Structure formats: C-alpha cells, structure tokens
Amino acid sequence: MKNLRISNIKFQISNFKSKFIGNCKLEIRNCKFQRAFTLIELLIAITIIAILIGAGTYTWMNGQMKGRDGRRKEDLKQVQSALELYAHENGQYPNANSNNIQCNTSDGDTTVIFWGNEFKCGTPMSTTYMQKLPSDPIGPINYKYYPVADTRGKIANYVIWSTLENTSTTNPDYCIGISCFAKLIQQLPICMNDTPNYCGYQGMDPKYHYFVINP
C-alpha cells in the first residue's frame, strides 16, 4: 500500500514537472523581446532633437527682434505726436543738442530733454508734451532727433532716426547707406541743401536704418 502511494506521488510530481517545463517552453517561444536602440539610432534621434531646438530658438529670437523693431516704430510715432503739440504751441519744432530734443520756447527755455526723460518746456510755467520720451528697447544706440530749419531760420521740419535689428533686404522699412539718403531726400528735399549733415544722415551712418519726418 505504501509503495502504491509513493508511486502515485512520484507520478504526480513527474507529471507536474512535465507540464510546468512544457508550459514554460511554450511561453518562452511565444515571448517577443524588444531589442535595444543602436548607437546610430540614438545619434539620429539626438540630431533631430537638436535641429528642432535650434529651429525653435531661432523662431523665438526672430520674434523678439521683430517685436523690438515694432516698438521702435511705435515710439517714433508717439514722439511725432508730442512734437506736433509742441509746434502748435510754440510755432516751430524744438531745437536739438547732441541728438536730443532741446527746448526753444519764446520765454527763453533751452532745457535739453534726454531720451527716457519727461518732455516738458517753458519757464516759469512749463508744459508737458510727453510724460516720458521713449528710449531704444536695448540700446546702446538711442534715437536721434534732427531739426531742419527753413530759409527764415524757423524749424519747420525734423527727422528722427532709429536703428533696426531686422536688417533683412526684404524688410521694406530697412535702409542703409545711399538707400537711406535717397529715401530721405525724396521725402524731405530740403535735406539735400543741409550740408554737411544732410538732416542727420551724416555720410552713410551704418548705425541708423529707419527714420520718420514731420507729418
């Protein structure tokens, strides 16, 4: 009887081993192993990521640059409005001192207004024409105001110069060298006779690429 039980136990163990091993082999055959990336594949992936990052950075920087140029143009428009208020009250546009606006009111005020400061003139009672003159978003090259007097000595015109960061030839607002001079004398012919400075042009100054004149 004992021998029969032992035989049954051995048979069950043997049968279990056979099923277990067989199942394991079957499962191993059915398993799909994922292979690791090769070095070339990793290098390709890294290169693609670097290109995408570079393209994104360029797009972001280009957008920032165009944004600053847009602000410069808007700054000059605001200064134009302030200068019109000044001319309406004083009969002419202000003078200039080292590219800055200088008061020339009838009461004798000759205060120099630096870019970034309040634009007010008059003594003893002053008039504020602009709470704060703008200055270039990043500098160090600031805006340049240049008054243009007529034959009577009255300042009847002006030119405000600015630099631009977008120096692409496809930018319609950008000019440099002789192209700036041609555009300037087309809009303000009197500048041709304003030697030697030519309304702030001063011989192809490469720092300034954009200008506005009085309306």
Any domain includes 44:
no
Token pair 């292979």 in the structure block, residue: 35
Cα separation, 43 vs 142, whole angstroms:
46
Residue 125 has pLDDT above 50, yes or no: yes
* DSSP reduced 3-state for 67: helix
Any domain includes 58:
no
Any domain includes 180:
yes
Provide the residue range defining the domain that includes 122: 66-213
Q: What is the pTM of this model?
A: 0.73
Q: Between 28 and 37, name the one with better pLDDT.
A: 37
Cα separation, 191 vs 184, whole angstroms:
7
**pLDDT grade, residue 87 (50/70/90)?**
very high
What is the count of structural domains for the chain? Answer: 1
CA angle at 70 for the pair 201 and 177, rounded to the nearest 5°: 25
* DSSP reduced 3-state for 49: helix
Q: For position 5, what pLDDT does the model report? A: 52
Any domain includes 12:
no
**pLDDT grade, residue 8 (50/70/90)?**
low
Any domain includes 83:
yes
Any domain includes 113:
yes
Give per-residue pLDDT as tens, 134-150: 999 998 889 999 999 98
Any domain includes 155:
yes
Q: Between 35 and 119, name the one with better pLDDT.
A: 119
Give per-residue pLDDT as tens, 165-212: 888 767 888 888 888 889 999 999 999 888 888 898 865 567 888 999
Q: For position 7, what pLDDT does the model report? A: 55
Q: For position 3, what pLDDT does the model report? A: 52
Paired strand residues for 119: 130
Any domain includes 176:
yes
Q: For position 181, what pLDDT does the model report? A: 87
